Structure 1
Amino acid sequence: MNPAAVRHADFPGGRVSARLLRDGSAQPDACVALLHGLGESERVWEPLARHLPAGLRLWSFELPWDAADGSDWTVEAAPAVWLERALDLAGCRPRILIAHSYAANALLDLLCAGTGALDPAALVLFSPFYRSSSAEFDWPAISHYLNDFTEVLYAGIQAQARPRDPDLAQAMAERVRDRIGVYGWLAYFTLFTATPRLDLDKLRAPCLVIGGETDTASYPRDCRALARALPDARVEVIGGGGHFTMLEDPLRAAALISRFLEESGLAPVPTHPLAENR
């Protein structure tokens, strides 16, 4: 890869970077941003990227909530600000935005605020967190998302690194949890609890919400509720998938995205047979 295709910017509290995974079409509607979730690396997108339509220009972004440098990013700037800082590094203004988990919520927060320069042509949200009513945030819900937080990180390590030793995977998950820290978890849960107040009517771009059938963090029912609340959205729940469907079944996830973009008039690619529901 050409070193010029990797760009960095340092700020108090953290660093953002952009990496050009594939130099496809220069058309604005073919420029794609891949945004990772909390405690993850931008490399989580590599398996999916291999199967996306060849004409797409793919940029993946490293965001400070990878927690490589701790949680100072949480007090220096809002997640929406970090997103804008990262997206500014791309060689084009991405109009197809693909985000996972925490980044999906940061993106929703940015777009619903209507203060940024983003003009998305399409959104793909993997395992976003959503509740339609503040009444759904009760003490058992808080207990679940706090006390089972390490289990979600464990699932991500299993999906990406595939360690053979469960004890090693558990130790890795705990190290990631400790790097994220209390402030990182609070930043995530603050975005989550704000979802009932999102002005989703502002999101006029077509949206694909992708969930996993066995996900116990972003439940399929929550993905469906978000799709119903958006003006132009559809939902796909991948059978047997968990919180990391882009890693667990990248071929199927890419097929769903390809079909969605084709039907939205954004990618002239044939519908992949795996895009059909099982």
Structure 2
Amino acid sequence: MNSGAPPVHELSPGAPGGDLVVLAHGLEDSWESWRPLARAFDPRWRVLVLDLPWRPGSDYRWRRQESAAGWLAAGLQRLPRPPDTIVAHSFGANATLELMAAGHSSARATVLICPLYCPPEQPVTWQVFDRARRTFDRHIRDGLRLRLGQRLRTLDEAVLDGMIAKAIDRIGPAGFLTVFDQFIGSGTLALTTVTTPTLILAGGADPTLSPAAAATLGRDMPRATLLVHEHYDHFCHVRHAVEVAEQATRFVGEVGQVAVRP
């Protein structure tokens, strides 16, 4: 395991005896993107977030040191105790999937928001590669626009286009291939062995995970609950933070009730 474990930040102190919830962000996303969701969570939860090495500005050399799942595991080891729930988005959700499939997650429940998934029966063709590249560029564009927030209104369209092009160039092939490798590898994970109750949130407006692929992912995980919302895009945890928080809170509560049932 790499010694330079990801930093941990606290977004909510929670209440004594409350659940410990840890959040794992997506590629080229910041740990701070979780703030809207954390504010909407059950206030009794202590919410910690990992600042994972695939944050914005990464040069992707972290891949040579450890896998995404390995970095996630290193971050989890820094927590005061094993988390009750892991909530993960996109690339972070795939790292979580990989960790669970290897039997290395002790969380009581998991929430995966817009994971990347390539069904085992899907051949990996150049057409799939090209489509994934277009989707990757779109996510970088949408993610940048989202992070700009209110500043977006004051930016000239040409300036914004230049910022987006610069971001895509900076990330380069290394960033895209990191995501694509995680995507095609997802279909080889031993998902049928995952016994952690898992909520999968997907969106009809998210090109990363089609409803059909989401259904296959949910089918292959024996204790998965799949919710697909047509108005959700890849960043639904930010745009619809209250809705996502309500669904996550309800799911975690139901898992807890089952766990204590005699």
2:167 aligns to what? 176
Deviations 1:84-135 (A, max 9, x none): 1212222232120000001111111122122x3x311111001001122253
| Residue identity opposite 1:31 in structure 2 | L
User: Is the alpha carbon distance of 1:187 and 1:26 closer, same or farther for their aligned partners in structure 2, counting shifts above 3 Å?
Assistant: farther
Q: Of residues 116, 134, 138 in structure 2, which corresponds to 1:147?
A: 134
| Residue identity opposite 1:245 in structure 2 | C
The answer to which of 52-61 and 141-150 deviates more is: 141-150
Aligned counterparts, 1:122-141, within 5 A: 122-141=109-128
Measured in 1, the distance between the counterparts of 2:255 and 2:158 equals 45
User: Is the alpha carbon distance of 1:119 and 1:181 closer, same or farther for their aligned partners in structure 2, counting shifts above 3 Å?
Assistant: same
Aligned counterparts, 1:267-278, within 5 A: none
1:91 aligns to what? 80
Aligned counterparts, 1:10-29, within 5 A: 11=4, 16-27=6-17
SS at match of 2:54: helix
Measured in 2, the distance between the counterparts of 1:241 and 1:201 equals 27
Q: Is the 8 A contact 1:74 1:183 kept in 2?
A: no
Tell me the percent identity: 28
Q: Is the 8 A contact 2:135 2:207 kept in 1?
A: no
Measured in 2, the distance between the counterparts of 1:175 and 1:66 equals 16
Measured in 2, the distance between the counterparts of 1:213 and 1:190 equals 23
Aligned counterparts, 1:201-216, within 5 A: 201-216=192-207
Q: Is the 8 A contact 1:10 1:16 kept in 2?
A: no
| Residue identity opposite 2:241 in structure 1 | P
Measured in 1, the distance between the counterparts of 2:64 and 2:121 equals 25
Aligned counterparts, 1:1-278, within 5 A: 11=4, 16-27=6-17, 30-114=19-103, 116=104, 118-162=105-149, 163-164=152-153, 165=155, 166-265=157-256
User: Is the alpha carbon distance of 1:140 and 1:106 closer, same or farther for their aligned partners in structure 2, counting shifts above 3 Å?
Assistant: same
Q: 1:194: how far off?
A: 1.3
Runs of 4+ in 1 over 6 A off after TM superposition: none
* Runs of at least 5 residues in structure 2 that lack an aligned partner in the other structure: none
Measured in 1, the distance between the counterparts of 2:169 and 2:213 equals 27
Q: 1:230: how far off?
A: 0.7
Q: Is the 8 A contact 1:30 1:266 kept in 2?
A: no
Q: 1:266: how far off?
A: 6.3
TM-score (norm 1): 0.84
Q: 1:235: how far off?
A: 1.4
Measured in 1, the distance between the counterparts of 2:79 and 2:170 equals 27
Q: 1:145: how far off?
A: 0.9
Measured in 2, the distance between the counterparts of 1:169 and 1:241 equals 24
| Residue identity opposite 1:38 in structure 2 | L
Deviations 1:23-48 (A, max 9, x none): 11454x71111100000000111011
TM-score (norm 2): 0.88
Q: 1:170: how far off?
A: 3.5
Alignment coverage as a number of residue pairs: 253
Measured in 1, the distance between the counterparts of 2:33 and 2:135 equals 22
The answer to which of 160-169 and 142-151 deviates more is: 160-169
Measured in 1, the distance between the counterparts of 2:160 and 2:225 equals 34
User: Is the alpha carbon distance of 1:88 and 1:180 closer, same or farther for their aligned partners in structure 2, counting shifts above 3 Å?
Assistant: farther
Measured in 2, the distance between the counterparts of 1:110 and 1:180 equals 25
User: Is the alpha carbon distance of 1:138 and 1:69 closer, same or farther for their aligned partners in structure 2, counting shifts above 3 Å?
Assistant: closer
SS at match of 1:39: coil
| Residue identity opposite 1:95 in structure 2 | D
SS at match of 1:133: coil
Deviations 1:126-178 (A, max 9, x none): 10011222534222111011134221111122233231244444333334333
